[in-house]
Amino acid sequence: MLFALFLLSVSPPAISKNNEKLQFSGFARVMLGYFDDENAEYVGYDNSVSIDKQSLIGLQGDYLFNDSLSFTAQVVGHTDEQRNSGLEWLYLTYAPSNAWQVKLGRQRIPFFNYSDSLDVGFAYPWLTLPQQFYDTAFFSTFDGVLANYEFSYGDWLLSYEGYWGRFDDKIYLNSQEINTKVIGLFGVNASIYYDNLTLRASFNQGDVDIEQTQAAEFSQLLRQLGFTNSADWLNASGVIQLYHFSASYENVDYFVRSEFSRFDGKSGLVADIDSFYISVGYNFYPYTVYLSYSKKNLHFDHPDNEIPFGISTELDTLAATYLGVLAAFPDDKAAGTKIGMRWDYLANLAFKAEMTFVEAKDEISNDYAVKDLGGFDGHGVLYQLGVEWVF
């Protein structure tokens, strides 16, 4: 796999050349990782050296019809089984002026600062994006329309963006594929740039329908028996909202970057999540060193049990089953501290090394980030080496 990624990304001259209308580009990463605790997994890594968790390759084609209309397609191949390989971007771009731009088709959802470049590790200093923050977005693409408007006012540059569309695909939770639909998905964001300072704020909302067959059947049974509050909690569908704010300051020598988000799930089986990260770095070309801290607080609104015990065996069984379901959705607090270094060996090739100190508190929800295999004390270190290309 490593050899194939290398050949595809650096050798074919046809990929790197372009003509007046059609352009090809791409990106690739090879990542080696090892988690130092045999009692847990972190972002898929366990107590053995692995190269097949976060390595990937992406190919992109852009066709320019004229100065204002273009077409973009991008496919990404992941080695990670919990990431879907295939089409990521497929959209038309209409730019009637330097200020206006409209995209129609499949594209990234602009939840966060690096939503557009999630897989392009060359675009950011870290080897991996702050996990406790960026794993709170359960899906990253949508089908719809996005419009952006930029204008300057003196030394200030302002950017406004809005989108509307839908998502209909599989997501991965607890190592399971789940069919998910989100309709009425929309969002607005605004960015302000002044000198070396950047501020951004956004609001996003959608009506989600998550396929949970067993939970739906159990909810229907509870409703028939009159336990409506418990039945409502087991509903996996409802409105989701995401609020985001970021502030960054950077110059030639150093940077400070931070993002904060609040994810609100209006149904019982969808958690509320507060997360943030802050990162500082120092550049001494061709090297960059950085320190990053991220934290996630995942919380479910667990209702009191309304099913009585001691009346009948059937009700006792029903109540025990319901409490068992509640226990399968524990709150989760986790933090990660990264220390890393980047070496820009060439203009399009970077080597990175990173250590992530993981800290998980209380019960662990066994989401994609931290998975307790039994006996995990909540502390571990992930060691990673990576190579990033753009071509």
CB burial of residue 4 (10 Å; 0-12, 13-18, 19+): exposed
**Residue 111 within any structural domain of the chain:** yes
How many Å apart are CA 307 and CA 314, to the nearest integer? 11
What percent of the chain lies above the pLDDT cut of 90?
Answer: 63
SS3 107: strand
What ranges make up the beta strands (E) of the chain? 22-35, 40-42, 56-64, 69-78, 86-94, 100-108, 141-153, 156-173, 176-194, 197-210, 238-250, 254-265, 272-284, 287-299, 332-346, 349-361, 370-372, 379-390
Contact 343, 301 (CB under 8 A): no
Q: What is the pLDDT of residue 302?
A: 77
* Number of compact structural domains in the chain: 1
Amino acid of residue 15: I
CB burial of residue 226 (10 Å; 0-12, 13-18, 19+): exposed
How many other β-carbons are positioned within 10 Å of the β-carbon of residue 174? 12
- Tell me the pLDDT band of 266, cut-offs 50, 70 and 90: confident
Segment 93-133, tens digit of pLDDT: 999 999 999 999 999 999 999 999 999 999 999 999 998 99
Is the per-residue pLDDT at 362 higher than 80? no
Domain residues for the domain of 384 are 27-55+82-304+332-390
Is the per-residue pLDDT at 215 higher than 90? no
Q: Which helix (H) or strand (E) holds 324?
A: helix 313-327
**Residue 364 within any structural domain of the chain:** yes
How many Å apart are CA 181 and CA 172, to the nearest integer? 13
Segment 327-356, tens digit of pLDDT: 877 888 889 999 999 999 999 999 999 999
CB burial of residue 247 (10 Å; 0-12, 13-18, 19+): middle
Average pLDDT of the residues of the chain:
89
Q: DSSP label at 344?
A: E
- Tell me the pLDDT band of 12, cut-offs 50, 70 and 90: very low
How many Å apart are CA 37 and CA 313, to the nearest integer? 43
**Residue 209 within any structural domain of the chain:** yes
Q: What is the pLDDT of residue 293?
A: 98
**Residue 322 within any structural domain of the chain:** no
- Tell me the pLDDT band of 9, cut-offs 50, 70 and 90: very low
CATH number at residue 143: 2.40.160.10
From the list 151, 131, 74, 141, the residue with the least C-alpha distance to 110 is 141
**Residue 147 within any structural domain of the chain:** yes
Q: What is the pLDDT of residue 19?
A: 64
Q: Which helix (H) or strand (E) holds 228?
A: helix 228-233
Q: What is the pLDDT of residue 174?
A: 62
For 54-58, what is the mean pLDDT?
96
How many Å apart are CA 78 and CA 186, to the nearest integer? 28
Strand partners, 14: none
121 φ, ψ to 5°?
Answer: -60, -20
Amino acid of residue 204: N
- Tell me the pLDDT band of 11, cut-offs 50, 70 and 90: very low
**Residue 255 within any structural domain of the chain:** yes
**Residue 314 within any structural domain of the chain:** no
Contact 7, 100 (CB under 8 A): no
Question: Chain-centre distance of CA 158, in angstroms?
Answer: 25
**Residue 195 within any structural domain of the chain:** yes
Is the per-residue pLDDT at 16 higher than 70? no
Confidence (pTM): 0.89
From the list 360, 345, 293, the residue with the least C-alpha distance to 126 is 293
